[in-house]
């Protein structure tokens, strides 16, 4: 039995710390979706207006340059990344950067599915980045800005030259709206609605630089493209996609929810306000970790520490000395205890990542709730360690 007398006195008001789908914005209710044009075609005037507004607000809040195209595409961030890779790669060599599970998935698709012979893979273990100075920018480059499953991000875009010959394709799904993306260094940016803004899943965003558009209009891949990947007609960009004329049918309910999230973002100061909330939540965790001997960040370098998907590892010597399976069982025991108390949901490490915890601190999470969570993390550790000692 859990000793309730040993529990902290205060609980987070919102226990949703999942890394995706992520917590809804503060104050969200179903009433926010009342203006969705349900039962209407997305090609009718009301639907087209909503989709165009979503693109316009994305540009405004995310500070996307005017000459970059923004499109809504199928299948979440995964669909957007796949669309970009299948449509753009193959014209030249490609450097694939991977330091967590999603980056590794893009490597698999390029090497085993597209079977590009001139693919160079630069990998690093969880907690680290590859050597960014060794990237060949005569090649195209595919990378994640923020490793959602490792909590490791690139510190900035200074490592990307302005005069690169290849394209940079950036999976920014857990970075967009929380970290400063330097669009001048990025030719393709992808993300999904369900991360930093807490929107609903299944829709992806594809942002293209003029250089990426030029590639689309001058290069035809050697492989066939399914309908949902086709961005050109007659050798020219299908501009309608970037006005909200989506390739397939979107959910207007999800579009309305994304609009609500974007309007909330604008109301709290736009990108700077969103980044401030995520940074404050990370600061709270950094202070707690510095004072807590049993835990540490998975990211080894503080400069690469994510402010959204914060990955933690148990550093207590009694636990780190255990076999991997036992370390995983220990972390899962902590997660179960917190879920049972309704304090924190879905904070276990990703299935392919090292054992530990993953706490979402994107902008829709109240930093005050992160502060209230930390004593509960201590409680869960103490409880799990006591149970481990009993078994041992």
Q: Does residue 118 share a domain with residue 63? A: yes
Structural domain includes residue 5 = no
Structural domain includes residue 3 = no
Structure tokens of 120?
A: 């160079």
Residues written for the chain? 392
**Predicted pLDDT at 1:** 47
**Predicted pLDDT at 6:** 84
Last residue of a domain, one of 266, 287, 316: 266
Last residue of a domain, one of 217, 240, 266: 266
CB count in 10 Å sphere of residue 154: 22
Total tally of structural domains belonging to the chain: 2
Structural domain includes residue 1 = no
CA distance 298 to 305: 8
Closest CA to 359 of 320, 316, 392, 310: 310
Question: What letter does residue 94 receive in the DSSP assignment?
Answer: E
Q: Does residue 216 share a domain with residue 339? A: no
Question: Which DSSP string do the residues of 160-197 spell out, in sequence order?
Answer: S-TT-SS-EEEE-TTTTTTS---GGG-SEEEEETTSTT
Q: Does residue 241 share a domain with residue 278? A: no
Q: Does residue 115 share a domain with residue 40? A: yes
CA torsion through residues 69, 273, 350, 160, sign: positive
CB count in 10 Å sphere of residue 130: 19
Task: Write the CATH number for 83.
Answer: 3.40.640.10
Q: Does residue 322 share a domain with residue 297? A: yes
CB count in 10 Å sphere of residue 82: 22
Q: Does residue 192 share a domain with residue 47? A: yes
Residue-wise pLDDT for 345-372, tens only, equals 999 999 999 999 999 999 999 999 999 9
Q: Does residue 197 share a domain with residue 67? A: yes
Q: Does residue 94 share a domain with residue 218? A: yes
pLDDT by residue for the chain (392 residues), tens only, comes to: 445 458 999 999 999 999 999 999 999 999 999 999 999 999 999 999 999 999 999 999 999 999 999 999 999 999 999 999 999 999 999 999 999 999 999 999 999 999 999 999 999 999 999 999 999 999 999 999 999 999 999 999 999 999 999 999 999 999 999 999 999 999 999 999 999 999 999 999 999 999 999 999 999 999 999 999 999 999 999 999 999 999 999 999 999 999 999 999 999 999 999 999 999 999 999 999 999 999 999 999 999 999 999 999 999 999 999 999 999 999 999 999 999 999 999 999 999 999 999 999 999 999 999 999 999 999 999 999 999 999 87
Structural domain includes residue 6 = no
Q: Does residue 221 share a domain with residue 94? A: yes
Structural domain includes residue 75 = yes
CA distance 292 to 287: 9
**Predicted pLDDT at 391:** 84
Task: Write the CATH number for 372.
Answer: 3.90.1150.10
Structural domain includes residue 85 = yes
Structural domain includes residue 82 = yes
Q: Does residue 305 share a domain with residue 171? A: no
H helix runs in the chain, sequence order: 45-62, 76-88, 101-108, 210-218, 252-267, 270-290, 317-320, 324-340, 367-391
| Residue 288 domain boundaries | 11-25+269-391
Q: Does residue 170 share a domain with residue 95? A: yes
Q: Does residue 207 share a domain with residue 152? A: yes
**Predicted pLDDT at 363:** 98
**Predicted pLDDT at 392:** 72
Structural domain includes residue 4 = no
Structure tokens of 329?
A: 């069982």
User: Do the Cβ atoms of 364 and 17 come closer than 8 Å?
Assistant: no
């Amino acid at each position: 039995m859990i000793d309730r007398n040993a529990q902290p006195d205060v609980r987070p008001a919102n226990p949703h710390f999942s890394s995706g789908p992520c917590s809804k914005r503060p104050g969200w209710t179903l009433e926010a979706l009342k203006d969705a044009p349900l039962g209407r075609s997305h090609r009718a005037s009301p639907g087209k207006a909503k989709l165009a507004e979503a693109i316009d607000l994305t540009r405004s809040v995310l500070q996307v340059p005017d000459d970059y195209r923004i499109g809504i595409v199928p299948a979440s961030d995964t669909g957007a990344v796949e669309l970009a890779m299948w449509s753009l790669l193959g014209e030249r060599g490609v450097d694939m950067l991977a330091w967590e599970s999603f980056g590794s998935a893009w490597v698999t698709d390029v090497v085993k599915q597209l079977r590009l012979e001139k693919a160079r893979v630069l990998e690093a273990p969880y907690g680290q980045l590859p050597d960014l100075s060794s990237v060949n920018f005569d090649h195209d480059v595919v990378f994640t800005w923020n490793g959602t499953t490792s909590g490791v991000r690139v510190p900035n875009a200074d490592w990307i030259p302005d005069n690169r010959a290849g394209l940079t394709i950036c999976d920014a799904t857990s970075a967009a709206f929380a970290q400063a993306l330097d669009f001048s260094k990025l030719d393709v940016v992808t993300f999904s609605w369900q991360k930093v803004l807490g929107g609903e899943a299944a829709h992806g965003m594809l942002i293209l630089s003029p250089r990426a558009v030029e590639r689309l209009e001058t290069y035809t891949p050697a492989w066939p493209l399914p309908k949902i990947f086709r961005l050109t007609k007659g050798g020219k960009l299908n501009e309608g996609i970037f006005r909200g004329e989506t390739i397939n049918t979107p959910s207007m309910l999800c579009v309305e929810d994304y609009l609500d999230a974007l309007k909330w973002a604008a109301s709290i100061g736009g990108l700077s306000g969103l980044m401030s909330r995520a940074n404050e939540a990370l600061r709270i965790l950094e202070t707690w970790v510095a004072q807590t001997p049993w835990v540490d960040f998975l990211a080894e370098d503080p400069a690469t520490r994510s402010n959204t998907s914060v990955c933690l590892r148990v550093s207590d010597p009694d636990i780190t000395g255990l076999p991997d399976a036992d370390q995983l069982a220990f972390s899962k025991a902590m997660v179960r205890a917190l879920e049972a108390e309704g304090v924190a949901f879905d904070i276990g490490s990703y299935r392919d990542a090292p054992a530990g915890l993953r706490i979402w601190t994107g902008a829709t999470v109240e930093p005050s709730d992160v502060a209230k969570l930390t004593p509960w993390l201590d409680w869960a550790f103490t409880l799990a360690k006591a149970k481990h000692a009993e078994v041992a």
